[in-house]
A and B are shown apart, each in its own frame.
Chain A
Amino acid sequence: MIRNARGRGTAGIVAAGLLLAALPAVSERTYVLTLGYQLLLWTTLAVSWNLFSGFANYPSFGHGMFFGIGVYTTSTMLTATSLPYGVAFLASFAVAGGVAVLLGLALFRSTRFRGDLFGLVTLVLAFVVATVVSNTSLLDGGTGVFVRAAAEGTLLDNSPARLYLTVLALATLTVVIAYLIATGRWGLGLTAIRDDEEVAESSGVNTYRVKVLTFGLSAGLAGLVGSPHAVFLGYVEVGSVFPLSIPLFVLMMAILGGTTTWFGPIIGAVLVTAAQQALIGQGQAEVSQIIIGMLLVVLILVCPNGLGGLLRRRPREEVTS
């Protein structure tokens, strides 16, 4: 019975994805497709972040780094090799996920690396990776990489519709994965880790393995969506691939939408991206950046458990008192 329910849920998500796939047929306008692309990109990032950082409560500031690793894996493979795009696509997943697995193997040996320390180490590593990329001439070397020419004639071919469909497919995949994890055994283990790792461990959960693998999957999906983004950008440079605003926005989207559910980050991503697009329309970019940033800061201050937590707060207090 449960299996059927999960099957129905998965089918529902895939159906929603197929419905959204009709957008290029409805409108050929680049503006519409780019807006759709942005919404789906942020959705993928927020939902994939949440897989590990939300479900297990290990908030990472490194999601922008994994996304950037995916971008640079694809840009490097497209420009420096003659391999087909599909290989670069899969490599983006593998490299980003691999870095996360190695990091997890080292960090999760000790339980000190949670909360602020885990956040910091992931942030610090993002700086290191950005420095490495800008100093390695094969990857970037500080001059940026032109991807547009190399992407011509590949699967994506610089077409807004194809880019949109690729990110749609990735968003659907990510949401399905989040849904299956949240409603299944793996999610139960992650929730136990969030609540109390000692109890999880003594209840038979191999917390080390669960954390390392989920962190790897979460980062791998961010890297995967970085792959079409390299083509979307056309010209890739460290400053625009590794800005601090990416991990910040991903965190805030997930937290605002709610980190304990699979769908919360989707809501957060859509709300924040929509607000951002609306503000960018009005005049100065700096002003809109300030407004959206302050809005997020105030919202996090007022409801640190997300908009859902704000609604639930009252009854929960009654229960515990």
Chain B
Amino acid sequence: MSLLRCEGVTKYFGGLRALDGVDLVVDPGEIVGLVGPNGSGKTTLMNAISGTFGINAGRVEFDGTDVTGMRPHQRAHLGIARTFQIPKPLPSLSVIDNVALAYTFGRDQVPMGRARQLAGDLLAELELAGKALAPVAHLNLHERKLLGIARALGLEPRLLLLDEVLAGLNPTEVDLGLAMITAVRDRGVAVIYIEHNVKAVTSISDRLYVLNRGTNLVDGNPRDVVADERVVAAYLGDAHADPA
């Protein structure tokens, strides 16, 4: 059975149709890449899955449960975790408490002492242990993105939504990031991965979805998808507006 099933997800912002009947399926333990030109609705879809806002039509089902009307924390408790396009570390908390928050308010509601312990272990795994007690203001961009992922993993999710976690990083950091995403998948966590860098996505994705203007354009095997002429046309049509 599939882990996540989105059917006909539709979302309007005022009169603007950001998503128009998008379908998406994710199986347990697979990496699904989500690509598309700017404004194609990738982040909106991610927000619809994590529950940031309600949707106007369609349905989101997670692990056989209809989560369409659920609030974000309920979805987090079921096992949907996310990062943000611009990393949002909580500035009043130390690095370790940013992660402990997710453990102590997550599905198992671990007591604080234990949550800090688990958070420390996770930070060590991500090689952030040295900064565990530092305020988040001391972190650089790469470390902030790692912290975002650590906080998401603190929920012990079954589905991780990553929103452009590699944007703005140097090539070495990108390679490390890709390795980490694969490692997360190997622990049995399914990943939906939004990325502008199509090359990076195709290298690790099991399947690829292409959105265009809020609708499904193509999906399937990464190599076939990037060769699809509709995808090429969508990107070229956008090329002048968006050199990235």
Binding site for B on A (CB under 8 A): 1-3, 184-185, 188-189, 191-192, 194-196, 198-208, 260, 316, 319-320
Interface residue B58 (Cβ < 8 Å from any Cβ of A): no
A-B contact pairs, 21 of them (CB 8 A): A2-B112, A3-B113, A184-B112, A185-B111, A188-B101, A188-B104, A191-B90, A191-B92, A195-B90, A195-B92, A196-B88, A196-B90, A199-B84, A200-B101, A203-B101, A203-B106, A203-B154, A204-B101, A204-B105, A206-B105, A320-B137
What's the nearest-Cβ distance from chain A to residue B33, in Å?
A: 21
Q: How many residues of B contact A (CB 8 A)?
A: 34
Q: Is the CB of B112 within 8 A of A203?
A: no
Q: Given contacts A203-B105, A203-B151, is CB(A188)–CB(B93) below 8 Å?
A: yes
A204 contacts which of B73, B84, B93, B111 (Cβ < 8 Å)? B73
Other than the given A194-B92, A201-B72, A202-B73, 17 more pairs (CB < 8 A) read A3-B113, A184-B112, A188-B100, A188-B105, A189-B101, A191-B90, A195-B92, A196-B88, A201-B71, A202-B72, A203-B101, A203-B106, A203-B154, A204-B101, A205-B105, A206-B71, A260-B92
Q: Is the CB of B101 within 8 A of A192?
A: yes
Q: Which residues of B contact A3 (CB under 8 A)?
A: 113
Q: Is the CB of B90 within 8 A of A204?
A: no
Q: Is the CB of A2 within 8 A of B101?
A: no
Q: Is the CB of B105 within 8 A of A208?
A: no
User: How far is B116's CA from A207's CA once the two chains are assembled, in angstroms?
Assistant: 21
Interface residue B131 (Cβ < 8 Å from any Cβ of A): no
What's the nearest-Cβ distance from chain B to residue A85, in Å?
A: 38
Q: Is the CB of B71 within 8 A of A319?
A: no
User: How far is B135's CA from A320's CA once the two chains are assembled, in angstroms?
Assistant: 11
Q: Is the interface of A mostly helix, strand, loop or mixed?
A: helix
User: How far is B136's CA from A191's CA once the two chains are assembled, in angstroms?
Assistant: 14
Q: What 1/0 flags go to B77-105 for Cβ under 8 Å of A?
A: 10001101000101111000100111011
Q: Which residues of B contact A191 (CB under 8 A)?
A: 90, 92-93
Q: Is the CB of B93 within 8 A of A192?
A: yes
A189 contacts which of B88, B92, B105 (Cβ < 8 Å)? B105
Which residue of B has the minimal Cβ distance to A57?
Answer: B92
Which residue of A has the minimal Cβ distance to B104?
Answer: A185
Q: Is the CB of A188 within 8 A of B113?
A: no
Q: Which residues of A contact B88 (CB under 8 A)?
A: 196, 198-199
What's the nearest-Cβ distance from chain B to residue A282, in Å?
A: 40
User: How far is B77's CA from A194's CA once the two chains are assembled, in angstroms?
Assistant: 21
Interface residue B142 (Cβ < 8 Å from any Cβ of A): no
User: How far is B107's CA from A2's CA once the two chains are assembled, in angstroms?
Assistant: 22
Which residue of B has the minimal Cβ distance to A190?
Answer: B92
Q: Is the CB of B100 within 8 A of A207?
A: no
Q: Is the CB of A192 within 8 A of B73?
A: no
Q: Which residues of B contact A188 (CB under 8 A)?
A: 93, 97, 100-101, 104-105, 112
Q: Which residues of B contact A205 (CB under 8 A)?
A: 73, 101, 105
What's the nearest-Cβ distance from chain A to residue B5, in Å?
A: 21
Q: What 1/0 flags go to B37-65 for Cβ under 8 Å of A?
A: 00000000000001010000000000000
- 8 smallest CB-CB distances across A and B, nearest first, come from A204-B105, A195-B90, A201-B72, A204-B76, A204-B106, A319-B137, A203-B102, A205-B105
Q: Given contacts A192-B93, A260-B92, is CB(A202)–CB(B111) below 8 Å?
A: no
Q: Is the CB of B82 within 8 A of A202?
A: yes
